[in-house]
Amino acid sequence: MIKKKTVKDVDVNGKRVLVRVDFNVPLDKATGAITDDIRIRAALPTIQYLSEQGARVILCSHMGRPKGEVVEALRLDPVAERLSELLGAPVRKMDQVIGPEVLVVVEAMRPGDVLLLENLRFEPGETKNDPDFAKALASLADVYVNDAFGAAHRAHASTEGVAHFLPAVAGFLMEKELDTLSGLLEEPKRPFIAVLGGNKVSDKLGVIGRFLDICDEILTGGGMCFTLMKAQGLAIGKSLNEEDQLPQVRSFLDKSIEKGTALRVPEDVVVAASFAEDAEHQVVEAGEMPEGWMGLDIGPLTIEAYRASLLDAGTVFWNGPMGVFEWEAFAAGTRGVAEAIVESHAVSVSGGGDTSAALKKFGLENKFTHVSTGGGASMEFLEGADLPGVSALLNK
């Protein structure tokens, strides 16, 4: 179990506290309004605690990929507005990240005040982990808190660099993510079932390899399952397939037999004549896919088979939808799996933005034990990789 010092292990009263949060929230392209504020709400416990302890709270976050340039549509003004509403207190927002104007405002802050800096990625030094930029950012504060688990797998100035200049501790969200994900690896309640979907099997190779050692079953769906099916010699039509991954996938199929961990693919598939919401579609048995058709969801037999396993689970980790859930004709698999996980009363953990979006669509986001705010970070952690933003924090 990874144990890092947290905000409760340092005196923050009267101190300037730089908090790296993950406010990379989705915005409506037409209006610029926030469409999902889960990442803002997830950071509230840390922000409120620091404010109540008399800290001067300086928040920093990235949004999107402006690549070191100012992009007006990616300014954090909507975030400051929403955060003010959630806190019930004003949050001042800067139009800069560092510089004299920021220093003047920081020096004028009173205990309990909350300030939000501009989008970190407007600064070229952020993603380059430039030490000069990291030092300038650190000069604003006395203590550094990382509560952005979703960005912890990046060695950027605000996630790793500043920790070389300030005492660095975890926020409550970071602590919860590390405890929850460590628990999956070290002491899961059994049976432990992983549900893996999404488009690319190449994105899941590391975690499949790890889960074959620690899970009792791995249930697959989404575009990634077709490479697995192809590796088993099944016809997959025009479905997604990563030909270059077939040797690795075949080795995983062999390992699943050796380990006794079932690596399951769909028994039947909803196939479509084209990739379109209103495409002609039908259900076929696995391996019976018509030439020129593509799989866009798991079929009803598979939903029932997966449901039977999930209802008996003690722990479930889910990353990646089972099909194109945004389109109703291909949403049944993702909905069925989500409902079965909730009904199972297992310890349930989800990771990844698409999975969170699916849970929200089906009204189940509050029914999981833990919805991770880090897609890539959670997968890399579960693979066993060191996350730079975590390694940089002080140990207990």
CA distances from 349 to 144, 146, 183, 187, 314 (A): 28, 22, 11, 14, 12
Q: Which of 178, 174, 173, 175 is nearest to 42 (CA)?
A: 173
Same domain, 234 and 128: no
In the chain, the amino acid numbered 179 is D
Residue 262: inside a domain: yes
* Residue 135 tokens, joined: 């030092």
Q: Please give the positions annotated as active site.
A: 39, 200, 353, 376
Same domain, 202 and 347: yes
Residue 346: inside a domain: yes
Whether 2 has a pLDDT exceeding 80, the answer reads: no
Of 141, 176, 211, which residue is a domain's last?
Answer: 176
Same domain, 286 and 348: yes
- Count of domains in the chain? 2
Residues forming beta bridges with residue 319, ordered by sequence position = 196
> Are 226 and 271 contacting, i.e. CB atoms less than 8 angstroms apart?
no
Whether 85 has a pLDDT exceeding 90, the answer reads: yes
Q: Provide mean pLDDT across the span 252-259.
A: 94
Of 176, 210, 233, which residue is a domain's last?
Answer: 176
Residue 36: inside a domain: yes
Which domain does 236 fall in, by range? 188-383
| Angstrom distance (rounded) from CA 199 to CA 320 | 8
Model confidence pLDDT, tens digit, residues 7-49: 999 999 999 999 999 999 999 988 999 988 989 999 999 999 9
Residue 391: inside a domain: no
* Residue 143 CA from chain centroid, whole number: 26
Q: Provide mean pLDDT across the span 218-227.
A: 96
Same domain, 273 and 308: yes
Same domain, 33 and 119: yes
pLDDT score of 1:
67
Residue 395: inside a domain: no
Q: In this structure, what CATH number is given to the domain that contains residue 131?
A: 3.40.50.1260
